[in-house]
Amino acid sequence: MKYVLVTGGVVSGLGKGVTASSIGVVLKACGLRVTSIKIDPYLNTDAGTMSPFEHGEVFVLDDGGEVDLDLGNYERFLDIKLTRDNNITTGKIYQYVLDKERRGDYLGKTVQVVPHITDAIQEWIERVAVIPVDGKEGPADVCVIELGGTIGATIYSRNNDNGILDAGDIESMPFIEALGQFSYHVGPGNFCLVHVSLVPVLNVVGEQKTKPTQHSVRGLRGLGLTPNILVCRSAKVLDENVKEKLLQFCHVPAANIITLNDVTNIWHIPLLLRDQKAHEAILKILNLQGVARQPKLEEWTDRAKLCDALHDPVRIAMVGKYTGLSDSYLSVWKALLHATVACHKKLVVDWVPSTDLEDDTAKEAPDAYKAAWNLLKGADGILVPGGFGDRGVQGKILAAKYARENNVPYLGICLGMQIAVIEFARSVMNLRDANSAEFDPDTRTPCVVFMPEGSKTHMGGTMRLGSRRTYFQVTDCKAAKLYGNVSYVDERHRHRYEVNPDMVPEFESAGLAFVGKDETGKRMEIIELPAHPYFVGVQFHPEFKSRPGQPSALFLGLIAASCGQLDALLQNPSHLSKPIPGRISSNGVFLPKVYQNGHQKGHTHMPAKSLVNGNYYSNANGVHV
């Protein structure tokens, strides 16, 4: 097994995740099998109980693991399925060691950070690295490891212009020590360290400054790790004299100094690595030159160029409570992007705080209220993502009502489906006190109830999590057609509450169709309004399995409905039955691979005609795909 370790220095948020993912893409394009591990030094066992405002979205895996959003990057870039053990946290490691201590595995020895914690980290990496994640038998060829946090940041003060070196986040220290030992354990030719650092440009002088990177590399060396490759984040391509200075002071060969400058869309990053021959440097260090081929990235090149060329916008109103941080809905945003590129459109996301749609805001902040409603009414489609708690729920209900009454395409995910059910009960069935037991435990009309297998005393890992099977109840529904007329789909879940099965007959009599249910037939998974152009709610999270070139079927349906292409898509379901790689056809239309049921099963041909007008807006320059 070969290992590539990606670390970051100077500041957080440089894009270690996209760098690690892009390295994996290039190595995979060279014919190698790649797996990934993310190390998060926080003490939490997993990301499941962390606030989206603080840490971004919680990404859910097939096995129910609630993990860091960077694992979503890996899955989307590499088209792999990771496990919960691919996300290592301090909490998991300490729990693992303490469990061994309680069993007596250490035979009375004093349990210490070194060697017991550091040994446990190395054992965990070696164990997980050989788990197949690409659907094939046997271990991968290369494991890309991302170490969260920063190493060797420089802290400046009023009395110290030169700065003082900070070794990095305190909680990272056991991992850094373990990885230093690990590099010697696996030996030369099996370990490559890629350090991502910042080369800022000061506006006053317009010069690229290398001192922060020099300090970062010095700190890394002081901790026992020597970088083989330096990846420099900068607004523009590094000047040659800047590379010379980094070569001189960081002791990294010029060929191994890579620039990751700002790009028009994130799919250019693997291409930047390829163009600067980063793969050759990695393959040389890992002694893989005779095994790997030249990288084949034609599909990535086509997709990056297509994304740059798109200019006809489709506007989606994202109505949620965490809209202040777009990373809170990262997978939803990326799934929308995948679908809009497939439909040959430019994605415009209008972030609508659900609280701003409520009557209280009209009184307290009328300008915010008016702005929110203007965004909602100006949207081509409306999406209400998942969430927890009662803050902003009324605003989400109002958004669902507006979509239902005005024939605006609507997709509700998890809580977004539940509030659509509540709104239908209140407005169509005249059940004015209809509510969820989550928001009002004493409601007399509980449309949404707590699942009996859930825990009310422990929060972490107690929800209905991971991949579950949904069976279509009817074939003549939009969701079934979008999935390719299959009898069932496997999608990922994360919820504690569900639609009250006792009320389902009432809802169906009133016109709400439950077109997808679980294997028991008692748990509602997909709702539709048959007479509506596109009003779909799902209990699962289809965004977690969307891929570039393989858009989620339901997101593709939302975007197609929002730009007038849904009828053409649904009238040609045979297009979904034959898998082809995503590419640009001779007439300039993008032909995507449609993601269905965990497999690449087909494609759709989208007409290039534009039916949407609006202001230009680009979402292309984020750090995650």
Q: What is the pLDDT of residues 568-587, one digit of tens each?
A: 888 874 444 333 333 333 23
Contact 94, 117 (CB under 8 A): yes
CA gap 474, 105 in Å, rounded? 55
Residues forming a β-bridge with 603: 593
For residues 324 and 314, what is the distance between their CA atoms, to the nearest angstrom?
A: 21
Residue pLDDT, tens place only, 190-248: 999 999 999 988 877 778 888 888 888 998 998 889 999 999 999 889 888 888 899 88
Phi, psi of 176 (to 5 degrees): -65, -45
User: Is the confidence at residue 47, as pLDDT, over 90?
Assistant: no
Region 381-397 average pLDDT: 92
Asked if residues 343 and 359 have their Cβ atoms less than 8 Å apart, the reply is no
Name the pLDDT band for 54 (thresholds 50, 70, 90): confident
CATH fold label, 310-575: Rossmann fold (3.40.50)
Q: Tell me the pLDDT of the chain averaged across its residues.
A: 86
Per-residue pLDDT at 152: 62
Same fold for the domain at 2-154+179-305 and the one at 310-575? yes
* Res 583: pLDDT: 37
- Cα–Cα dist 196/545, whole Å: 28
* 593-614 pLDDT, tens digit each: 443 443 333 333 333 333 233 3
- What is d(CA 217, CA 152) in angstroms, rounded to the nearest whole number? 7
* CA atoms lying within 13 Å on the CB side of residue 70: 26
User: What does the DSSP 8-state code read for residue 223?
Assistant: T
Confidence at 621, pLDDT banded by 50, 70, 90: very low
Closest CA to 552 of 397, 389, 343: 343
Q: What is the pLDDT of residue 581?
A: 37
pLDDT value of residue 56: 84
580 versus 136: the higher-pLDDT residue is: 136
- Choose the weakest-confidence range: 32-41, 44-53, 285-294: 44-53
Question: Which element (helix H / strand E) includes 90?
Answer: helix 90-103
CATH number for the region 2-154+179-305 comes to: 3.40.50.300
Tell me what pLDDT residue 153 has.
53
Average pLDDT over residues 55-62: 91
What pLDDT does 201 receive? 86
pLDDT confidence of residue 163? 41
pLDDT for 122 beyond 80 = yes
Sequence-separated (6 or more) residues with CB below 8 Å from residue 321: 353, 354, 355, 387, 389, 391, 392
pLDDT at 558: 97
Provide the H-helix boundaries in 187-321.
211-222, 240-250, 269-275, 278-285, 298-309
Segment 67-117, tens digit of pLDDT: 999 999 999 999 999 999 999 999 999 999 999 999 999 988 999 999 999
pLDDT for position 333: 94
What pLDDT was estimated at residue 480? 94
**Lowest mean per-residue pLDDT among 24-28, 147-151, 616-620:** 616-620
Task: Give the pLDDT score at 451.
Answer: 84
pLDDT over 90 percentage in the chain: 69
Long-range contacts of 209-212 (CB under 8 A, 24+ apart): 210/242, 210/245, 210/246, 210/249, 211/154, 211/163, 212/9, 212/10, 212/154
Q: What does the pLDDT look like over 514-531, one tens digit per residue? A: 999 999 999 999 999 999
Q: Residue 388, exposed/middle/buried by CB under 10 A (0-12, 13-18, 19+)?
A: middle
Catalytic residues: 414, 541, 543
Q: What does the pLDDT read at residue 623?
A: 37
- Domain assignments of the chain as residue spans, ordered by start: 2-154+179-305, 310-575
Supply φ then ψ for residue 114, to 5 degrees: -115, 115
* Residue-level pLDDT at 584: 34
Does 512 have pLDDT greater than 90? yes
